[in-house]
Amino acid sequence: MSLLFQTRSVGDVTVIACSGRIVEGDESAALDSYVTRLLPLQPHIVLDLGGVSFVDSAGLGLLVRLKTRTRAESGDLKLCAAGDSIRRVLSVTKLNTILPAYESDVEAITAFYTPAESAEAPPSLDIDILCVHPSADVLAYLRELLRRAEYGVTTTTNLSDARTLVRATRPTVVVIAAELHARAMAEAAETGFAQAARVVRLPAGFSTDDAGDAAARLLDEVGGAASTEVIP
């Protein structure tokens, strides 16, 4: 049975949901090739093993190699949702010390933004600002604009992944599209936007405004929000 993949991006992390078996031969080769295509542009990878029924010795060796390669690209590889049999193999082989299996993709993603526990661990992703907007083009612009202003930035197009990223990154400021702002506030108790507290709302015409004027206004608002003390 072929090994199948479904990929989604959550901020700077790529989640690959695998379905099938990770075994020597075509299946392992397919996973190797799939991850190779992501590197070096997307070195922060979560392998969701919820749909994987079996991993053989060659497959485990591949996972170790992939972790080494992601770290060489200043990223990391984390596992999540592994079944009991795979967890048992990881434990018996003691590979769980270098390939810990998180319960869910949310926990694995959060681990990327948690300070490293040892000198050998790769550095965590340092995030100041979360941008939420339905347009990938607008997000690309915001990401570069804010990074050039020396902010740590991560982005998402939807509120579902924004929930995960707010929990994972605890951003200083959330920059959010006007059309998503009302929904985010209505769901504040669930999403955690209320806890982020400092929110900069992008006007509906942001993407069509004069780029220079829009950039200057945004940087002023972000700077003001970032320097404002949050009162519990």
Residues 26-58: tens digit of each pLDDT: 999 999 999 999 998 999 999 999 999 999 999
Residue 229: predicted pLDDT: 61
For the chain, the average pLDDT equals: 88
Q: 154 with 132: CB under 8 angstroms?
A: no
What is the pLDDT at residue 220?
Answer: 93
Average pLDDT over residues 147-155: 92
Give tens-digit pLDDT for 86-126: 999 999 889 998 898 999 999 999 999 887 655 566 777 88
Give the mean pLDDT of 51-72: 94
Domain spans of the chain, in order of start: 4-112, 129-226
Q: What is the CATH number of domain 4-112?
A: 3.30.750.24
Give CA–CA dist 92/81, Å, rounded: 18
pLDDT at 232: 46
Ranges 9-18, 61-70, 184-193: which has the least confidence: 184-193
Residue type, 21: R
- Any idea which fold 129-226 has? Rossmann fold (3.40.50)
pLDDT in tens, 194-211: 555 588 999 888 878 777
Distance CA 111, CA 41 (A): 19
Instruction: Report how far apart, in Å, the C-alpha atoms of 98 and of each of 30, 76, 160 are.
Output: 23, 11, 30
User: What local confidence, expressed as pLDDT, does residue 231 receive?
Assistant: 46
Considering only CA atoms, which of 138, 128, 136, 129 is closest in space to residue 204?
138
Instruction: Give the residue-averaged pLDDT of 144-169.
Output: 91
Across the range 187-191, mean pLDDT stands at: 57
Retrieve residue 174's tokens: 């959330």
Copy the structure tokens of residue 144: 């570069």
Supply the pLDDT for residue 15. 97
Tokens of 228: 């404002």
Whole-number pLDDT of residue 184: 73
Q: Give the number of other Cβ atoms within 10 Å of residue 129's Cβ.
A: 25
Q: What is the pLDDT of residues 171-183, one digit of tens each?
A: 999 999 988 887 8
What angle (nearest 5°) sits at the alpha carbon of residue 194, between those of residues 193 and 199? Answer: 65
Residue 163 has pLDDT above 90, yes or no: no
Residue 19 reports pLDDT greater than 80: yes
